[in-house]
Structure 1
Amino acid sequence: MKLIGYFRSSAAFRVRIALNLKGIAVEHAFRHLRKGEQRAPDYAAINPQKLVPALVLDTGEVLTQSLAILEYLEETRPEPPLLPNDPVGRARVRSLALIPTADIHPIQNLRVMAYLRQTYGQSEEAAFAWSRHWIETGFEVYEAMVANDRRTGAFSHGDRPTMADLCLVPQIFNAGRFKVDMARYPTLKRIFDNCMKQPAFEAAQPSKQPDAEP
């Protein structure tokens, strides 16, 4: 398999963590998002969305969208599991995972910020304020959902990492770029710290990737 990503992509980060946790070795390839390499015809041919990540299977089939890739990995390589055994628990984990992946990331990613600047004349400061607002709005909800729930353990759900943590951690990395005060979200900060003690998370972080830049 080959994973096509970008070191700073939160979506690619999620998939890297899953691959590491499940011990799946893949070839890594890269598209530099800030240089627009994802819009090159050869990449658009395999991923019409022109986004990362894309997972190229050994059969030649291409999977896109990070959550779909995580679900595929869970279904084909079930150990260690990224979802609980019980249906309610699985629904809770998916609900938590959707906060960063559906409510935060899509409206504050690179192309959205570029659109704000180029189409609406927003300054860099204003675009950053936009992003920070939506990160903080999502984190407030996530914190409320995990802070006093008995199902929360060392991680978002129980005492082993789940799909929710794979989606939360990259968003917290992203929040650092926008100077979000994580002291406001003590449970999220505790979960993040526990995750980053895990080799699978540490090895997947942006600064550890071959295409990393300062």
Structure 2
Amino acid sequence: MKLYSYWRSTTSYRVRIALNLKGLSFETVPVNLVAGDQRSDAFRALNPGQGVPALVLADGTVLAQSMAILDYLDHLVPEPELIPSDPLKRAQVLAAAHVIAMDVHPVNNLKVVNRLKSQFGATADDATAWMRHWMTEGLAAFQALLPQGPRFCFADAPQIADLCLVPQLYNAHRWGVDMTPFSRLLEIEAEALELPAFHAARPENQPDATKG
């Protein structure tokens, strides 16, 4: 498999964690979002959505959208289970995961922030304040959905909610979000990053990582 990825992309980060947890080998193909590689004709032909991640299977099939890729990988390799089979637990875990994947990430996406700057005159400080606002609001909602007791978000092993949370916390730290209210989330993050699958997936450990 080939994973078209950008080192700081939180959606790519989710998929890297899942591939590692499932023990699946993959080749990383860097797509520099800042340089605009995603808008090239070649990449648009691969993924019309012009975003990462894109996962190319051995037969050439291309999968896009991180949540769909995670669902595919969970069916392909059932253990460890990322999405619970029990209907109620499944709904609870997915609801939390979707807070980040559908409420927080889309409004903080690079193309949205760039549009705020180019179309509406937002400054760099304005853009940072925008991102901090939506991350703070979303993380508060996410934390409120979690039960007390499990080592990770909903269980003693990571699931899809954890795979969404940890990359989003990377962005929160990067952009200076006040993490004081989120002690439970920081505990989960610390537990997760001790696991080899999460550690190997960290942005700074990717082949295209830079110091910028």
Deviation of 1:26 after TM superposition, in Å, equals 0.7
The aligned counterpart of 1:195 is 192
The aligned counterpart of 2:20 is 20
Q: What secondary structure is seen at the aligned counterpart in 1 of 2:51?
A: coil
In 2: Cα distance, 1:56 partner to 1:212 partner? 21
The aligned counterpart of 2:138 is 138
Identity %, equivalent residues: 45
Counterpart among 162, 165, 171 of residue 165 in structure 1: 162
The aligned counterpart of 2:174 is 177
Q: What secondary structure is seen at the aligned counterpart in 1 of 2:8?
A: coil
In 2: Cα distance, 1:160 partner to 1:142 partner? 18
Deviation of 1:72 after TM superposition, in Å, equals 0.2
Gaps of 5+ in 2: none
Q: Give the ranges of 4+ consecutive aligned residues of structure 1 lying more than 3 Å apart after TM superposition.
A: none
The aligned counterpart of 1:153 is 150
In 2: Cα distance, 1:191 partner to 1:16 partner? 18
TM-score (norm: length of structure 1): 0.96
Deviation of 1:201 after TM superposition, in Å, equals 0.4
Superposed counterparts of 1:96-107, under 5 Å: 96-107=96-107
In 2: Cα distance, 1:158 partner to 1:49 partner? 33
The aligned counterpart of 2:207 is 210
In 2: Cα distance, 1:143 partner to 1:61 partner? 36
Q: How many residues are matched?
A: 211
In 2: Cα distance, 1:60 partner to 1:158 partner? 35
In 1: Cα distance, 2:101 partner to 2:127 partner? 19
Pair 1:111-2:111 in alignment: yes
Per-residue CA deviations over 1:26-56 (Å, capped at 9, x if unaligned) read 1110110000001110110010010000000
The aligned counterpart of 2:76 is 76
Deviation of 1:182 after TM superposition, in Å, equals 1.5
Q: What secondary structure is seen at the aligned counterpart in 2 of 1:28?
A: strand
Letter in 1 for 2:71: E
Q: What secondary structure is seen at the aligned counterpart in 2 of 1:182?
A: coil
Contact kept, 8 Å, 1:183 with 1:189, in 2: the verdict is no
The aligned counterpart of 2:39 is 39
Superposed counterparts of 1:50-61, under 5 Å: 50-61=50-61
In 2: Cα distance, 1:10 partner to 1:40 partner? 21
In 1: Cα distance, 2:51 partner to 2:83 partner? 26
Gaps of 5+ in 1: none
Deviation of 1:18 after TM superposition, in Å, equals 0.1
